[in-house]
Amino acid sequence: MKLRLRPKFVQTVALAPEAVQSRIASHFREGEFRSFEVKQFPGFTAIRIPEEDRHFWSPRLNLSISNEERDDTLIEGLYGPNANVWALLLFGYLMLGFGAIIGGIVAYVQYAISRGSWGVWVFGASTIGLVLLYLIARMGRTVGERQVLRIHRAYEKAIGEPIAIR
């Protein structure tokens, strides 16, 4: 199964939000999944791989749990790397993207006035950096794919029904 960089799912469960969070918490406190790390706040739950199995690219499942109707709960799940890894990737994209835009503008101006060409080098280096950062993120997703499926199976058992990842 090929997953997106940040796989997600949306599910409606015929339980109250508090009951859903309680069910998830009790499931991860017992049995084969008790080593998973679970943090809960009102309307939000985060599930992480056990610490002994965690590495730089290990995913986490963030669940947004909200009341949709009287007895139904909307669960929006988003898989992604640890917040530090995600922030590092986002910062890299922003800096390299900014460098590519500035380099492109400077290169165009230099071309228009027939002066130097260092802007082309900044633009090219930033663009190559963006491509490399994207490939690194894809590699990280591949490294963490088995753990995403492991968390997802545990989540499906907690909820009691299968749900497809998009």
For residues 79 and 61, the answer to whether their CB atoms sit within 8 Å is yes
Interval 46-100: pLDDT, tens:
999 999 999 999 999 999 999 877 778 999 999 999 989 989 999 999 999 999 9
Residue 100: count other Cβ atoms within 10 Å of its Cβ.
Answer: 19
Domains of the chain, start order: 1-160 (3.30.310.80)
Spell out where the chain has E strands.
Answer: 8-13, 37-41, 44-48, 59-67, 73-81
**Among residues 157, 147, 129, 119, which one has the least CA distance to residue 50?**
147
For residues 151 and 32, the answer to whether their CB atoms sit within 8 Å is no
Interval 6-59: pLDDT, tens:
899 999 999 889 999 999 999 998 878 899 999 999 999 999 999 999 999 999
